[in-house]
Each structure stands twice: as structure tokens, then as C-alpha cells.
Amino acid sequence: MPLGYGALHKILDCCTATWQTGVVPSAEGRVAARPSAPPPFLPRRLPMAAAENLKTTVEQFTTASNQAFKDGVEKSLAALAEANTHSKKNLEAVVASVTAATKGAEALGAETFAYSKKLAEDQVAAAKSLAAAKSVQEAVELQTAWAKSALEAYIAQVSKASEIVSASIKDSVKPLNERVSAAVEKFQAAR
């Protein structure tokens, strides 16, 4: 049956006490004489040179451990500072992107409002000219001319709106693309 750490520790304590007192119990219950040499498992005194060597080794280990811990903490703090800077730049890029998108939306809204106002004015003018027509033939010609000009104005407005949306998307994505490019460069440099 294997002995646990506690049992082995008790045996070692008993043997040490026996050696120090000189009383050695035997299997028959008799007391035997003290052995001339300590058992091999008892600690012996270290020579002075070995003790100094052990002390030096422990000090070197302690110094190296402290330096390694300090280096680890400094590296961790540097990594946290770098992550903080990276996060700040990412947040600034998102703010710049949202600002550009907002400006684009405002420009698109202003352009759409101006188009709607002009369209309403053109429709009122077309209705007045149709009401003033002297014949059906003239009314059809006025209606055709108005439909043609309204379609051309609509196509021009869609083109303007597409340009505004395209410029807005380009301006909105630019700061984000710069951050992605910076991150890719950093990861490639780390490899």
C-alpha cells in the first residue's frame, strides 16, 4: 500500500528524532544502540562552499525572475498602450466616416428638396399652359413637351443623386480603408 506525503513526513521525523536521541526501537521492542552513521535519507550539513553556491544560485534565480516579471509587465503595458492608441484611431476613423456619410446625406437631401421644388413649379407652369391651350392639338403638343422635359430632368436628377451617393460612399469608406490598411501592414510586419 503506497504511503502518502503525510506518512512519509512522519517517518522522516521519527527517524530524525531517533538519530538525535540515540534510541532506536527494534522490531522485537528492544532498544538498540545508536548507529554510527546517519541513514542516507537524513539531510547532512552542507559544506560552506556549497552553501555559498546555493545562496548565489537562489539570488541569481530571484534576480532573473524579478527581471522577467518586470519585462513581462512592461511588455503588457506597452501592448495595452498600443491597443489603446489603435482603438482611438479606429474610433476617430469611424467618426470621420459617419461625418462624411452625414454630409453626403445632407447634400442628397438638399438636392432632392431642390429637385422636388423645381418639379412642383414646372408642373404648375405646365398646368397653366395646358389650361391656356386653344385647341386639343396644342394641348397634346404642350403635354408631350412637358413630359419630355420632365423625363430629362428626372434622368439628370438621378445622375446627380448617383454622383452624390457615390462621393458620399467614397468619403465615408476612406477613413475605414486607411485603418484596415494600417492593420494589415502591422500584421504583415509582425510576421
- Binning pLDDT at 50, 70 and 90, where does residue 133 land? confident
Contact 124, 191 (CB under 8 A): no
pLDDT at 148: 94
174 to each of 8, 96, 190, how far by Cα in Å?
Answer: 72, 9, 24
Cα–Cα dist 75/134, whole Å: 89
Query: Whose CA is closest to 34, among 44, 21, 48, 17?
Result: 21
Beta bridge mates, 31: 25
Cα–Cα dist 95/88, whole Å: 11
The grid coordinates of residue 6 equal 503525510
Query: Whose CA is closest to 152, among 163, 141, 160?
Result: 160
Phi-psi map region of 43: left, alpha, beta (phi>0 left; psi -120 to 50 alpha): beta
The grid coordinates of residue 49 equal 562552499
At 56-65, the pLDDT tens digits run 888 898 999 9
pTM to 2 decimal places: 0.56
Query: Which range among 18-22, 74-78, 112-116, 156-160 shows the weakest confidence by mean pLDDT?
Result: 18-22
Helix (H, G, I), strand (E, B) or coil at 25: strand
Residues 6+ apart with CB under 8 A from 133: 139, 142
Cα–Cα dist 76/65, whole Å: 16
